[in-house]
Amino acid sequence: MYIILAILVCAFYGFYIGKKKPLRLIQNKDLTKLNSSPNYHGYYVFLWCLIPAIITFLTLNFFSNFLIKQIVLDLVPEIESIAKTNIEFVYNQIKTMASGTADAFSADEKLIVAAEKYNELISISNASIFVICICLSSFLLIFIKKKINLEFPARKKVEKFIKLFLLICSIVAILTTVGIVLSLFFESLKFFKQIYFFDFIFGTHWSPQIAIREDQVGSSGAFGSIPVLAGTFLITLIAMFIAVPIGLFSAIYLSDYAHKKVRSILKPLIEVLAGIPTIVYGFFAALTVGPFIRMAGESIGLDIVSESALCAGLVMGIMIIPFISSLSDDIILAVPQRLKDGSYALGATKSETMIKIILPAALPGIVGSILLAVSRAIGETMIVVMAAGMSARLTANPFEAVTTVTVQIVTLLTGDQEFDNPKTLAAFALGLELFILTLFLNLIALRIVKKYREKYE
C-alpha cells in the first residue's frame, strides 16, 4: 500500500513541476506563447510518473509472490505428496502464521521455519520493489521535465493517452465475452473428453446423479441433454403463450388507445413487473401459484403436481410481459404517422388500421422483441429453480414436472464440487449450450430490430 502512496506522491510532485516549468519559461505571463495550457504539462508529467511505475509495481509484485511461494514451499519437503488443493491450504497456514495471528506453539517445526523465511522474503521483496518503483518514477520525472519547452504539445499527448484509456475501457466488454467463451469452452472440452459429444447433444436420457457412484454399472451417468432442452422449451412456450398476447395487446392499447396521461402512468406500472427480482417471482410461484394450480386441477379432476411446467411457465410469462410490451410499444410508435393517416383517410377504424397497416409494418420489430423475450425466458433461472422440477423427462404435458437447463446448472454446481467430475463439468457444457442458444437468438433479434429502426429513420 505504501508503495502506491509513494508513487502517487511522486506523481503529484511531477504535476506541480510540470505545471511550473512552462510558466517559468515564458516572459510577461503571456500564455499565448505556449502550445498547451500549463495544466496539461502537469498532467503529462503526472501520467509519466504514475503509469509506468504502477505497471512495474504490479508485475514485480506478481512475480515476487510467485517466487516466494516456490521458495517457501520448498522448505516444507513433504509437500510434493499432497494434493494441489492442500498446497494452497498449507501456504495459507504459513501466511497466517507469518502474520502472527496463528498460534505458533501448536504448529509444525517446519511450518514455523517456513513462516519466518516467508516474512524475511516479503520484507526483502517489498523493499526492493519500493526502491525500483521510486527510482523509475523519479527518473522519468527528471527526464520528462527536460523535454518540456514552449512548443511542447502537451495537450495533444495527454488527450492521446486519454483516448487510449477510453479504448481500453471499451475493450473490457470484449474481454468479458472472450472470458465467457473461453471458460465455458475449456471446461466443456474437459467434459467432452469423458462424455461422447453426440451423446450429450442427442442423448435422450439425463440423470447426472448416477455418475458420482463409481461402483455402479454405467458409472459414466447419462448426460443426454435433449430432455433438459425439451423442458426448457416447454416452459418457454407456455411463458410465450401468456406474454405474447398480453404484451402485444398492452402495447397496442398503450400506443394507440390510451390517453397520453393514462399512458404515462400505465407504462411505468407495467414496467415495474420487469424490475421485480426474479427470486421474488420464484417465491411467488412456489408458494402461491403452484398450490393454486394444483387445487384448481383437483377441483376439475386433473392431477397436477405442484412443480408443474404450467406454474413456472405462467409466472415466467408474467415476468416477460413488460419486455414485449415496452419494446413493441416503441416499435409501433415508430411506424410513420403517414401510414396511419392514409388508412384513416380511407375510412378504416382504429382496429382495422392497427391490424392491417401498423402491425404488418411493425412485424419485424415485434418479432425481434419476441425473440429477445424468448432468449430471456430460456436463460431465466430463479423462477424455474424454485418452481420447476429436478427430474428430466421428455414430455409435452404442461401439468407434469420438467426440468430446464438453468435448473440443472444450479443443481450440478451447488454443493460440493470437484473439477474433474463429469457431473460438475456437465454444468459448463449446459452453460455453453445455453450461451450459444441465447447468442443466436440475441444476434438475430438485435439485427432485426436494428434493420427495422433504420427502415423508418
Partner 1 sequence: MSNIIRNDILTPVSSKRTTKEKLFKICGLSAIIFALSMLVILFTTIFSKGYSAFYQTRIKLDINFNEELIDPTGAREITTLNTADYSKLISQSLFKFLNIDKSHPKSSEIKSLISYNSFLTLRDRVLNDPDIIGKTKKINLIASDDVDQMLKGNININIPEENRKITDFQIEAIEKFKSNGNILTVFNKTLFIKSDSREPEVSGVLGAIIGSFYCLFIAACISVPIGIFAAIFLQEFAKKNKVTDFIEININNLAAVPSIVFGLLGLSVFINFFHLPRSSPIVGGLVLALMSLPTIVIVTRASLLAVPGTIKDGAIALGASKMQAIFNQVLPLATPGICTGVIIALARALGETAPLLMIGMIAFIPDTPIAITDPATALPAQIFMWADHPERAFVERTSAAILILLSFLIVMNAAAIYIRHKFEKKW
Residue 173 lies near partner 1 (rule: CB under 8 A): yes
Judged by CB under 8 A, the residue of 98, 409, 426, 448 near partner 1 is 409
> Min. distance of Cβ 357 from partner 1 in angstroms?
7
Residues 437-456 that bind partner 1 (CB under 8 A): 438-439, 442-443, 445-446
Q: Which three cell numbers stand for residue 38?
A: 500549463
Residue type at position 139? F
> Among 403, 374, 253, 366, which Cα is nearest to 316's?
374
Cα dist from 367 to 155, 194, 322, 447, 453, whole Å: 49, 40, 15, 11, 13
Residue 435 lies near partner 1 (rule: CB under 8 A): yes
Residues 19-48 that bind partner 1 (CB under 8 A): none
Residue 286 lies near partner 1 (rule: CB under 8 A): yes
Reduced to 3 states, what is the DSSP secondary structure of residue 223? strand
Near partner 1 by CB under 8 A, which window of 9-17, 109-117, 142-150, 272-280? 272-280
Closest to partner 1 by CB, 76 or 361 = 361
Q: Do 203 and 230 form a contact (C-beta atoms < 8 A)?
A: no
Residue 397 lies near partner 1 (rule: CB under 8 A): no
Residues 71-110 that bind partner 1 (CB under 8 A): 88
> Min. distance of Cβ 216 from partner 1 in angstroms?
28
Near partner 1 by CB under 8 A, which window of 43-51, 57-65, 273-281, 305-313? 273-281
Residues 182-211 that bind partner 1 (CB under 8 A): 183-184, 186-187
Residue found by looking up cell 471446461 in the block: 187
Dihedral angle of Cα 227, 229, 231, 234, to the nearest 10 degrees: -130
Residue found by looking up cell 502464521 in the block: 97
DSSP H stretches of helix in 276-358:
278-284, 290-299, 309-334, 337-345, 350-353
Residue 65 lies near partner 1 (rule: CB under 8 A): no
Site size for partner 1 (CB under 8 A) = 93
Judged by CB under 8 A, the residue of 346, 391, 396, 397 near partner 1 is 346
Q: Which three cell numbers stand for residue 331?
A: 416499435
Residue 386 lies near partner 1 (rule: CB under 8 A): yes
Residues 121-150 that bind partner 1 (CB under 8 A): none
Judged by CB under 8 A, the residue of 159, 226, 305, 306 near partner 1 is 159
d(CA 456, CA 132): 61
Cα dist from 57 to 105, 143, 144, 315, whole Å: 36, 20, 20, 52
Closest to partner 1 by CB, 7 or 285 = 285
